[in-house]
Structure 1
Amino acid sequence: MTDCIDASLITALVERWRPETSTFHMPVGEVTITLEDVATLSGLPIDGEAVIVDVPDREWSETCTRLLGHAPNDLSGGVVKLSWLREHFNNLPPNASAEITGQFARAYALSLIGFMLFPDRTGATVHLQYLLLLENWRTAGGYAWGAAVLAYLYREMGRSVLHLTQSSSTEVDLGGWVALLQLWAWERFPLIAPRHTVTDEPITADASPCGARWLPAMTRQHGDQLFSYKLFFDELETIVWLPYWERDMQFRGSVPQSDTFRAVVPLICFSIVMWHRPDR
């Protein structure tokens, strides 16, 4: 985990995650991160086409070359290193053609996908399956990226729980958008949230997503507070069930209201299929 992530908080949360229900079990009941949280905190679309495309047996080097212009020599299993993307697509050449500009744009988006939205537990690589979704910019924004992020995070938390139960390790090795989980915790449990945020002004429809108000807090480093967080959750008496409504009604205008917020639906990210169960 990066320095901006409170590893102790994430560990304390994951220890309470139950894969069979996709919820955190707290003394006051079950609670989970939902599609509403993802849409409100990140601004990612939760409605749209499922994040999945036909990935037939293919030469990934060929795909990479077609969409990015070239491919790494050590490409294996359709996985590229984020360091390779940074090295080869850091600066757009002057007077670049539309084709080259598109290649650099895809490389940048793929880097964000691998670093932020769907990082593996190493945080160092990204699969080229996501690149296939970026082939056509007209359709790339029509995918339910937020739903896929949640599916991936659910799966990763389940894996971490299994790792904790099968080993003597007390450290969580977690992939997925962990920062989003941390923002969710700060919204739901204000007693453990940083006191200073971006602004106390109302968030308008033209502003950044709700999660942006926590950006200053995401730059600080966190010490080892695992025992304190465990004690906090052991003695938890209240949860903020409607954090976004209670703080700022104006923000609702920047995230289209969706029946999906409360829908029991499958969350899809390629081969990962998890259930969204806000009804629990």
Structure 2
Amino acid sequence: MLPLCSITKNSYCNSFRISAFVERWHPEMNTFHFHFGEMGLTLDDVEHILGIPVRGLAVYTEDERTPKQLLMDFLGLSGEVAENTIASNAVKGYAVKLSWLEMNFKEVSETDTDERVVCYARAYLLYVIGCTLFCDKSGGFVQLDLLPLLEDLDQVRTYGWGSSCLAFLYRHLGYMSRRKAKQIGGFLILLEAWINEHFPMLHPVVDPEYTKDLPRARHWCLHSESGTSVEHYRRVLDDLLVDEVIFDPYKNRRQNVSDIAFYTGPIRAMSYVEPYLPNRVLRQFGLLQRIPADPITPQRASRGQHTYHVVYEWTEGFWSSPDYHLVPEDKRERTPPGIPWACTNDYIPWLSVFSHQRVGRGLPPVGGRVRQGREEQVRVVLDVVQRALGDTGLGTVELQ
């Protein structure tokens, strides 16, 4: 959890840019759709960007204590103080104001008992989680029912906080994808850093204080951009050339992709259960993209223009034994050298059947650029192949 404390120092998020990406979000697959295919946030991204564990116990509890009991049992409040806290609107349902936590658990004194110090530590961790991993739409509350997970401070590190953060963000991207949604929850610094890692043409600013031992989220300065709009970013993303995208930005930071990144199945953040489908974004692991298997079907779903409610089955055996649920080895074919965007010939035609790969309609290209047609895309690939052949004597490759 310690890396989260340093990540929040640059906490501004560009709402225009985020909105342009949300327009491309397909919650059925938990991926963004572009004219060259799907991309999405993976456990590999979370591991590098946040620097927290993605593998561990699922983050949820079946504890049925009331808000009053939770305040008393885990934060050391008396019954009367707990009741007054709830009556003061510092608590709404099972959510407590972050400002209340900050005000009442700011610092310990030398006279505090060990038990009291532990309560302060729980309050601090709850505050950090509420500001980062499980940030709600308002940014001002955090769920009290997380407290049972913080009961034993030595066990906090055994949870897969990174995977739960991803599940929480997945769900809130789904909420935000509805037409009249105005606010988004989740750890937006994770999303912003992911955009910066994979889309350098959006001109992210590097933090001069960054060092390689820090999480990648610290590599970027999140700043306001004047004169931009959703329409601007929409055109930029529609006009993207496939070779402008960095599919695997971490390849020089690791020897191999962690097996957990290839886990396929449900991930969980408290009551939210979301499908994690790395087979849809294999190029982000340096692998050839092929047509993936069908996405996981929810038990119940209501996905209207203005409503979003889904319930996925939580199968404990999947996440507790992830090594039995990985993308098969025979589906992990490396991309050809110099062609990180490589996919099978049938992939793009298959995707175009159900995916709106461009969002803007009739918009002029950005900076006078013309969208890259299929023939030009082929020319780019052939050019890379030709350079790879070099002086091997294998001849030239021509466009038929």
Q: Name the TM-score class by shorter chain.
A: 0.7 to 0.9
Q: What corresponds to 2:198 in structure 1?
A: 188
Unaligned runs of 5+ in 2: 1-9, 281-400
Q: What corresponds to 1:81 in structure 2?
A: 97
Letter in 2 for 1:141: R
Deviations 1:131-175 (A, max 9, x none): 11100112111011111111110000001112x2xx3x7xx4100
Q: What corresponds to 1:28 in structure 2?
A: 36
Q: Aligned partners of 1:199, 1:28: CA distance in 2, in Å?
A: 35
Does the CA contact (< 8 Å) of 2:193 and 2:216 recur in 1?
Answer: no
Letter in 2 for 1:260: I
Does the CA contact (< 8 Å) of 1:80 and 1:128 recur in 2?
Answer: yes
Letter in 2 for 1:133: L
Q: What corresponds to 2:147 in structure 1?
A: 131
Deviations 1:187-215 (A, max 9, x none): 000111323333576x2xxx22122222x
2:67 to 60, 71, 76: 60
Q: What corresponds to 1:265 in structure 2?
A: 265
Letter in 2 for 1:146: G
Unaligned runs of 5+ in 1: none
Shift of 1:55: 2.1
Farther off after superposition, 93-102 or 181-190:
93-102
Letter in 1 for 2:188: V
Runs of 4+ in 1 over 4 A off after TM superposition: none
State percent identity of aligned pairs: 33
Aligned length: 259
Q: Aligned partners of 1:186, 1:6: CA distance in 2, in Å?
A: 12
Letter in 2 for 1:263: Y
Q: What corresponds to 2:158 in structure 1?
A: 142
Shift of 1:121: 0.5
Q: What corresponds to 1:38 in structure 2?
A: 46
Q: Aligned partners of 1:269, 1:3: CA distance in 2, in Å?
A: 22
Shift of 1:86: 0.9
Structure scoring higher RCO (CA < 8 A, sep ≥ 6) equals 1
Q: What corresponds to 2:233 in structure 1?
A: 229
> What SS does structure 2 have at the residue aligned with 1:141?
helix
Q: 1:195 to 1:81 in 2, by over 3 A?
A: closer
Q: Aligned partners of 1:78, 1:194: CA distance in 2, in Å?
A: 38
Give the structure-2-normalised TM-score.
0.61
Does the CA contact (< 8 Å) of 1:50 and 1:144 recur in 2?
Answer: yes
Q: Aligned partners of 2:155, 2:110: CA distance in 1, in Å?
A: 28
Q: Which has the larger radius of gyration?
A: 2
Q: Aligned partners of 1:222, 1:122: CA distance in 2, in Å?
A: 22
1:50 to 58, 73, 79: 58
1:241 to 241, 247, 262: 247
Superposition pairs for residues 194-233 of structure 1, below 5 Å?
Answer: 194-198=204-208, 203=212, 207-214=213-220, 217-218=221-222, 220-223=223-226, 224-233=228-237
Letter in 2 for 1:8: F
Q: Aligned partners of 2:200, 2:140: CA distance in 1, in Å?
A: 32
